[in-house]
Amino acid sequence: MPFLLKHHFDPDLDLHRLKPQMQDDGSVDHHELNFVQNVEIGMVLAEWWLIEDAKVEEHDSRFIYDDMTFPAGKGTGIKRSDPNKLYAAVNGCVGYIDGKIVVKESLTLPNDIDFHTGNINFIGNLIVGGSIRSGFSAHGRDITVQGQVEAAHIEALRDLNCRGGVKGGKEAFLEAGRSIKVSFCEFGTLKAGEDVLVKGALMHSDVYAGNRLAVGGRLTGGHYYCHDYIYVGGQLGGGLGTDTALVLGYNPTLLYADGEYNKRIKLLNEKISKYEGILHKSAEKEEIIEDKLKVAQKELTLVKMLKRKLWEGIRGTEHIEKCKVLVTGVVKPGVEISIGSAYLKVNDFLEDVYFYYENDEVKIGAAAKKLKR
C-alpha cells in the first residue's frame, strides 16, 4: 500500500516568486513575503499517511512513496517512539535541498534585504551579503551585514556586526542583546545590552550601551547613554553649534524606556490640547470629543505614574564611582557630560583628557592615553 509524505511546511516555496502577505483588510504588505520558514527543535516537519490505492491520483505524485523512508537531511531526526514523523533537530529554516528535507541553523543572503526578499525574521544566525534597505527589517540570533544599513530596523538576540556602516537617515534602529559593532554610524539609534564598538565616526545618533561605548574616530552630535565608560579616539563634539551629550552611571535600557515614555507624554499632551480646543465648537461631536479627552487624560496619568516608578528603578542602578569618559584625541567646547547627578559643560578646547566623578562633580584629568581601558 502506498504512503503519502504529509508536510508541515511549504515544500514548494519558490524564493524567486514570493507573494506579498495578505492583510485582514484585503490589502497586501510588500514588505512581508515570508522568505523564511522557521522551525524549532522538536517541531514535526513531515509524517507518513497511509492511503488507499484508489486515492493515489488525488495527491501529488512527488510525495507518494512505496515505503516509509524519509528524505531526511541535515538538521532533522526521527524519534524511536514515533518513527512515522520527521522532526526538527535544530532551530532554523526548513526546506528541500537536493531532494532532502533540511533545517539550516544559519541563513546567508547573497544580496540586499529589499522588495525581493521582504523583511527577514529568522530564528538562527543571519548573514546579509548586501545592504538592508530603508523601510525593511531583519531579526536573528547573530547578524552580520556586509553592506550598508539604511533607515532599517535590525534586532539581533546576541551580537550584531555591520561592516558596511550605518547611514540611518534618522530612522535606523539597531538593537542587540549583547554587542553591536559598526564601521561607522550616521543618524541612527543603537541599543546594546553590553558594548557598542564603532571603528570610525559616530555622528548625530542616539546610543544606549549597557556597558561600554568605544569610538575609534570622532563622536559628534547626538545623545550617548552608557553604564560604565566611553572611549573616543578622535574628536569629541562638533563645537558650540552641535549638541553632543554623554550620560553615564545609569542603566541605559531603562533610560531608553524613559525616553519612550517622554515621547508618549508629549503626544498625549498634544492630543489633550487639540481636544480641549475643539470641545465646544461642535454640539454634534461634543460627546465623542469629550470621551476621547477623558481617555487621553486617563492614559497620561497612567504613563506619568509608570515614569515615576521607572525612575525609582533607574536610581537603583546608579553606578558612578568607576565611570569615565576617555578622549585620547580632542574635545571641543559645548560637549555636555553627566555622571549620575553631576554635570559638566565643556567650555574650552581640550586634548588627551578623561572625565570622572568625584565629590558630586564631573572632573577633568590629563593624559587619558596612560589610563587602562
7 and 97 co-located in one domain = yes
264 and 247 co-located in one domain = no
pLDDT higher at 167 or 61: 167
Among 88, 103, 118, identify where a domain stops: 103
d(CA 6, CA 12): 13
The string of DSSP codes covering 210-237 is SSEEEESS-EEEEEEEESSEEEESSEE-
200 and 339 co-located in one domain = yes
Whether 162 has a pLDDT exceeding 70, the answer reads: yes
Among 103, 126, 146, identify where a domain stops: 103
Taking only the tens place, the pLDDT of each residue in 48-68 is 988 876 677 777 778 888 889
d(CA 289, CA 284): 10
354 and 233 co-located in one domain = yes
Provide the CATH number for the domain around residue 84: 2.40.50.100
215 and 138 co-located in one domain = yes
Whether 135 has a pLDDT exceeding 80, the answer reads: yes
**What φ, ψ does residue 183 adopt, rounded to 5°?**
-75, -35
Residues in the chain: 373
335 and 205 co-located in one domain = yes
d(CA 65, CA 317): 62
Cell of 23: 492583510
The string of DSSP codes covering 347-369 is -S-EEEEEEEEETTEEEEEE-GG
Into how many domains does the chain fold?
3
45 and 72 co-located in one domain = yes
Mean pLDDT across the chain: 92
113 and 207 co-located in one domain = yes
Position 159 confidence tier, pLDDT thresholds 50, 70, 90: very high
Domain span including residue 13 = 3-103
Taking only the tens place, the pLDDT of each residue in 232-258 is 999 999 877 889 999 999 999 999 999
